[in-house]
Chain A
Amino acid sequence: MENLFNIFVKSIFVDNLVFSTFLGMCSYLAVSKTVKTSTGLGIAVVFVLTITVPVNYLLENYILKQGALSWLNSSFADVDLSFLSFIMFIAVIASMVQLVEMIIEKYSPTLYSQLGIFLPLIAVNCAILGGSLFMQQKQFNTIGEATVYGFGSGIGWLFAIITLAAIREKLTYSNVPAPLRGLGITFIVTGLMAMAFMGFMGIKL
């Protein structure tokens, strides 16, 4: 339990996807104009990450890793399919996004219309593939840890995009030098936020 909580807090604050590894930057910059839309996108990211990371964990540990196929037949013990991981992960992500889209459309039309075009676009958001690739690198012991990691990273991303959107809403009333307007000042604001987040570095629970 303690271990899971540690992974959760770490993935939100210390290894925040946006501030320490710059994942999902494109949509982070493009969609963060208002708090409302960025909340929608953030929730969709949390949703998809929480589903795809554990699925890819199973895929990695029971099919792709060296020796992972030995549960089928002991003669497969030295088969190493890990070079296929990129294409398998992205296929899982694309199909999961499609599935999630269909399920939400059936059971919660209001949420579906709120998320709108963001859902299909999530398949190509690098935060999602990044979550799975970091999961592969960190080599978690149980599927529970992987799920908590996926959920925590999603929450960290949601947190980052809502904060930036709130700052940008205020920024429209301030007098920014003309060449910095829009994109430039957003970069600098994100840089300052990342500096603040560095204060969490080295936290151990």
Chain B
Amino acid sequence: MKNIEPLFSKNNLKLITNPISKDNPITVQVIGICSALAVTAQIKPAVIMTFSVMFVLALSNVIISFLRKTIPSRIRIIVQLTVVASLVIIVNELLKAYFFDVSKQLSVFVGLIITNCIIMGRLEAFALTNKPWLAFLDGIGNSLGYGVLLIIVSFFRELLGSGTIWGFQVIPECFYNLGYENNGLMILPPMALITIGIIIWIQRSKNKNLIEEK
């Protein structure tokens, strides 16, 4: 009889740890960027967005992986979109019920999880060819990698832009009295792009393998 691989074997754990650093969905695979930029002006919406994406990605990965042998390949995109859209509707209703203010802040970006390339990308690249448990781990890993980047970006944007972290004032009043001012530009869209650019710069100077050929 064939040996059954333990649920958390080394290879399986790699599915979770790789996307966090050297195979990060945003800085290396370049998927899921739209929402990463738009929800990162503060930490709280970024964290909630991460959990929403984690829920949708892990579950849709599992569902598509269960269905992978029955979906005709010509209509697979429509099937995937339907599964993802139903999961996103659940998330949207839950957010409206329990986190109404954050759901107002995220506005259309909860709906845009449907066309977030991170979801379609992982469904196409992984769930269609792998078993449900592996697909589940892949979903969790990729959404963690996405979340780590979102939290780093939103940490700097909130700290420098409004002097707060998770809504609490961290820069003391006496700094402001001495003439320190919040950098309003950090809250605006352009600095999100530049912050990610700088993160990519730092990551690639540490990990030379990721540098692109000329």
Contact = CB atoms under 8 A, between A and B. Distances in A.
Interface stretch (A20-28, A53-61, A99-107): A20-28
B211 A191 contact: no
Interface residues of B, number: 48
Contact of A83 (B30, B93, B194): B93
A109 interface: no
B115 A180 contact: no
Contacts of A137: 107-108
B33 interface: yes
A134 B107 CA distance: 9
A91 B89 CA distance: 14
A183 B212 contact: yes
B194 A191 contact: yes
B190 A22 contact: no
Q: Please report whether the interface of chain A is mostly helix, strand, loop or mixed according to DSSP.
A: helix
Interface in A4-63: 19-26, 29-30
A178 interface: yes
Interface in A134-151: 134, 137
Interface string A62-89: 0000000000000000000001111100
A183 B117 contact: no
Contact of A194 (B33, B193, B198, B210): B193
A26 B92 contact: no
Contacts of A124: 77, 81, 115, 117, 120
A126 B116 contact: yes
7 shortest A-B CB distances, which residue pairs? Answer: A191-B193, A187-B197, A179-B204, A182-B212, A191-B194, A194-B190, A188-B197
Interface of B: 27, 30-35, 37-38, 77-78, 81-82, 85-86, 88-89, 92-93, 107-108, 111-112, 114-117, 120, 188-194, 196-198, 200-205, 210-212, 214
Interface of A: 19-26, 29-30, 83-87, 90-91, 94, 120, 123-126, 128-130, 133-134, 137, 177-188, 190-192, 194-195, 198
19 contacts: A21-B38, A22-B37, A25-B37, A84-B89, A90-B81, A90-B115, A124-B81, A125-B115, A129-B115, A130-B112, A130-B115, A179-B202, A180-B200, A181-B211, A181-B212, A182-B212, A187-B194, A191-B190, A191-B197
